[in-house]
Structure 1
Amino acid sequence: MKPKLIRITTVPISLDKLIEGQLAFMKSYYKVLAVSSSGETLTQVAKKEGVRVVPIEMSRAITPFKDIKAVWQLYRLFRKEQPFIVHTHTPKAGIVGMLAAKLANVPIRLHTVAGMPLLEATGIKRTILNVVEKLTYSCATKIYPNSKGLEQLIIAHNFTKTCKLKVLANGSSNGINTSHFNPQLYTNTQKEALKQQLGIAANDVVFIFVGRLVGDKGINELVQAFKELTVNSEQFAMCSEQLTANSQQPTTKLLLVGSLETELDPLLPETLHEIITNKNIISVGYQQDVRPYFAISKVLVFPSYREGFPNVVLQAGAMGLPSIVSNINGCNEIISEGENGWMIPAKKSIAIKTAMERVLLDSKLYTKAAGNARRMVQDRFEQQVVWDAILEEYRLLEEFVRET
């Protein structure tokens, strides 16, 4: 009989995107149950991955009473289902899931760290989040930082014993399916149709951001940098397709793919105003499939303040895009300076602007990085390698528990 595996995230979009395909893969080896907050997306995950789902409400904010209720509901679920493994992702799912699993005596309790929001917190909030992080790790049997940088941060902050930590494969929570994220899937006709739909001229140079449109993703700085970007269109014509005598001179466009979050981390009013009023900024909201938008773009700009191991940088690379990224955990393990992209200091709009100008004005710089982008992702972060590493870890832990 297959042992039971329960995977938990705070919100269902994380099941759908953060570990997409992984539940279906694990179904061949385990009875898989997915748990997250309720919603249409959770129902879609059940159909897409072919697994059972159970809705349990979890809040991403600090909500003690709701969190205690979630712990109690998860405890009851674990006592009923008797899982051999509980594996959590995202901070809130981590604390409520690991605590409930510990109380229910689940044999193997695993938590993946894909980012640390507490790094941007201060004062009493930072103190509370530090305590929560330590409690999460103390209840888990193993902790998986999804980047080497995160592992070092956890050690530096003394959140847990070093022996509990392990980075699987080369990092990442899910790797990248480079057959799915493949620029060859999109024809020139398809790309031109999408450009026309969005009001992008054939020769325009498109910088793209994919992710939540929030402060700690660096959107305020990105929009400010783009507002100040002043490069003569004739100077960066080399970044576009060959111009004809009658063709329109190219301009730069900023394509924002992602949803606003007005509660937890809203953008500055002046940023929102610029997004709405600047005709060269195109915001398309959340998109179920981001590949077509990568396909019409030249460079990913990802100026995040903090990351674990950002999937979007892997996705962009697999689609043949070089990236401008903050020199932070995860990003600096995917991007090699000048080889497949460029690193800049976080929270510096002038650094973003300078990097964008440099890309526009130096064709050799761009061509080299674009030529390396897909190959470097394929070589290090192919999805099946990550899945196999997680499965092997499950098997090793199972064997250890059964022998003891």
Structure 2
Amino acid sequence: MKFCIVANKAWNLTNFRMNLMYRLLDFGIEVHAIAPADGYEKKIEQAGIPFHDWKIQRESLNPFQELQSVNAIRKIYKQVSPDLVHHFTVKALLYGTVAARMCGVKAIVNSVTGLPLILVAPKKQLHKKLAGWISMKWYGWSLTGKDTHVLLQNEDDLQLLESFAPYIRCNSSVTNGSGVPLDRFRHTSLPNNDPPHIVFVGRLIREKGIFELMSAAEQLRSSKIPFRLTLCADIDPGNRSSATSEDVQSWRDKGLFDHVGRLDDVAPCLRDADLVVLPSYREGTPRSLLEAMAIGRPIVTTDVPGCRNVVDHEVNGFLVPAQESAGLTAAMEALLEDAELRVSMGQASRHLAETVFDERTVIDQICRAYHQLAPGFIPSPDEWADNQVPVDARSDVRSAPITDTAAPL
């Protein structure tokens, strides 16, 4: 059997899908990884998994370029001739489904790891309204069909998608996000830094709440509340809502953060954090927060779909209103000034990660979806106890962190 695992970045596959691919290898399946090459494909190839470079423009709305992207993945499917394909991220889902059905792939699994803003935000310009309508229809077509199973990360997304894919509940299931590898993100005691250390992990784009976070940081500085802020993030040049280098320089000039730049391995930074913040507008289930919870850190995030799934308000963190900074500032201030509260909430975070968000449980959920869609492709769940190799068994390759390097802006 041949399975293809597809995403919009090789980085995405190496950081979030390696243990899923290892599990499939344990089942004796020939796994192929498909994504645009970005340097991270080397880890995939080192694991003995064939990698196929898929040429796409992530933020393009040019229909001719989009057709080229569809044709590019169709050629890969034609070459590999997979029995099952699993798409992660928006363009992989939309374009991969078209290509898979053109090539007669027997089983298609589509993971909705977060909805594109064009589907959930109001559009004013005519061309964006048209793009939103087309995307909605395309999404509905991609998420239905006897050959398709849909994996979602929260009930809110499922309810929204039902508005233009009415029968989606017939061929879908909800997982606990992507899960978190507890063996890699082990619990550690809070460092109790002086001043306390705040960490943000994400992209420097509007939808992650970066502008609200900077506004809150400025308010805290004005109130003379000591803190250190690390942005494990970088500018996303292909994204229209990205912060600019001028924005970052302005924040730097105001002394709002101490470091900015992407870290290939965020675990050391999270271990040094006293609290972790993500003021996002909407998520599937934010992996960065699951990683912080596994390490045992209190969370401040927004009361929006996806984010609210990982925080029990005032137990392992705070839920604050989205797209405004006042509540965010107050929640951060409460944690900055109360070390005991940080400890109790951090312990609650670890407990939630262990009991709900263990990656092994999520991978089991995914494999059950594979078996439900195509029973002959992998062993039945009743056989797993005898035949499966634990996800973290090969600690040399499965749990080893990616090189810890920063990419300053």
Please state which band the TM-score falls in when normalised by the shorter chain: 0.7 to 0.9
Q: Which runs of 5+ in 1 are unaligned?
A: 192-200, 237-250
Q: Distance in 2 between matches of 1:202 and 1:354?
A: 20
Query: Secondary structure of 1:339's partner?
Result: coil
> How many angstroms apart in 2 are the aligned matches of 1:270 and 1:227?
17
Look up the match of 2:207.
216
| Alpha-carbon distance, 1:315 to partner | 0.3
Segment of structure 1 superposing worse, 68-77 or 373-382: 68-77
Contact preservation (8 Å) 1:223, 1:274: no
Q: 1:283-332: per-residue Cα shift (whole Å, max 9, x none)? A: 33111110111111111110001100110110000111010011111211
Cα pair distance change 1:24/1:63, threshold 3 Å: farther
Q: Does the CA contact (< 8 Å) of 2:316 and 2:349 recur in 1?
A: yes
Q: Describe how 1:218-237 pairs up with structure 2 within 5 A.
A: 218-229=209-220
What residue number does 1:178 align with? 182
1:161 matches 2:161: no
1:109 partner SS: strand
In 1, Cα distance between the equivalents of 2:80 and 2:199? 44
1:147 matched to 2:139:
no
| Secondary structure, counterpart of 1:308 in structure 2 | coil
Please give the per-residue CA displacement for 1:145-186, whole angstroms capped at 9, x wherever unaligned. Answer: 122222122124546532122113xx212x1111210144x9
Does 2:118 correspond to 1:124? Answer: no
CA distance in 2, matches of 1:318, 1:177: 8
Q: Distance in 2 between matches of 1:16 and 1:260?
A: 20
Contact in 2 for aligned 1:224/1:349 (Cα 8 Å): yes
Q: SS at the partner of 1:60? A: coil
One-letter amino acid matched to 1:260: I
Of 24-33 and 146-155, the range deviating more from structure 2 = 146-155
In the alignment, the residues of structure 2 paired with residue 263 and residue 53 of structure 1 have an alpha-carbon distance, to the nearest angstrom, of: 23
| CA deviation vs aligned residue, 1:40-89 (integer Å, no higher than 9, x gap) | 12233222x43111111122222322221222232233233221101101
- Tell me what 1:248 maps to: none
The answer to whether the Cα contact below 8 Å between 1:231 and 1:357 also exists between their aligned partners in 2 is: no
Q: Residue 329 of structure 1 aligns to a residue in which SS?
A: coil
TM-score normalised by the chain length of structure 2: 0.83
Tell me what 1:245 maps to: none
Q: Is the 8 A contact 1:133 1:159 kept in 2?
A: no
- 1:172 alignment partner AA: G
Structure 2, gaps ≥5 residues long: 124-128, 379-409
- The residue matched to 1:368 in structure 2 has which SS? helix
How far the C-alpha of 1:258 sits from its partner, in A, is 1.2
Distance in 1 between residues matched to 2:152 and 2:38, nearest whole Å: 28
Taking the aligned partners of 1:135 and 1:280, their CA distance within structure 2 comes to: 45
**CA RMSD of the aligned region, Å?**
2.4
Larger radius of gyration: 1
Summarize the Cα distance change of 1:300–1:361 in structure 2 as closer, same or farther, 3 Å threshold: same
The aligned counterpart of 1:239 is none
* CA displacement at 1:263 relative to structure 2: 3.6
In the aligned structure 1, how far is the partner of 2:237 from the partner of 2:82?
Answer: 37
Conserved? CA contact 1:10–1:59, under 8 Å = no
Contact 2:5 2:34 (C-alpha < 8 Å) held by counterparts: yes
Q: 2:289 touches 2:310 (CA, 8 Å); kept in 1?
A: yes
- 1:321 pairs with 2:311: no
Structure 2 CA distance for partners of 1:401 and 1:280, relative to 1, 3 Å: closer
- Letter of the 1:305 partner, please give it: Y
How far 1:259 moved relative to its partner? Answer: 1.3
Q: Distance in 2 between matches of 1:380 and 1:339?
A: 15
In 1, Cα distance between equivalents of 2:182 and 2:223: 36
Q: Judge conservation of contact 1:275–1:283 (CA < 8 Å) in 2.
A: no
Corresponding residue of 2:35: 36
Which of 322, 344, 358 is the equivalent residue of 2:320? 344
Give the Cα–Cα distance (whole angstroms) in 1 for the partners of residues 45 and 251 of structure 2.
Answer: 36
Task: Select which of 374, 388, 403 maps to 2:350.
Answer: 374
Could you tell me the percent identity over the aligned residues? 23
Corresponding residue number in structure 2 for 1:260: 235
Residue in structure 2 matched with residue 65 of structure 1 by the alignment: 64
Per-residue deviation at 1:7? 0.8
Query: What's the secondary structure of 1:32's corresponding residue?
Result: strand
Counterpart Cα distance in 2 of 1:63 and 1:84:
31
Q: Which residue number corresponds to residue 77 of structure 2?
A: 78
**Higher fraction of helix:** 1
C-alpha separation in 2, matches of 1:120 and 1:285: 28
Q: Which residue of 1 aligns with 2:287?
A: 311
Pairwise CA distance, 1:268 = 6.5
Q: Following TM superposition, by how much is the alpha carbon of 1:365 offset from its aligned partner in structure 2, in angstroms?
A: 3.5
Partner Cα distance (1:177, 1:68) in 2: 37
Q: Per-residue deviation at 1:278?
A: 3.0
Please tell me the residue identity of whatever aligns with 1:361: E
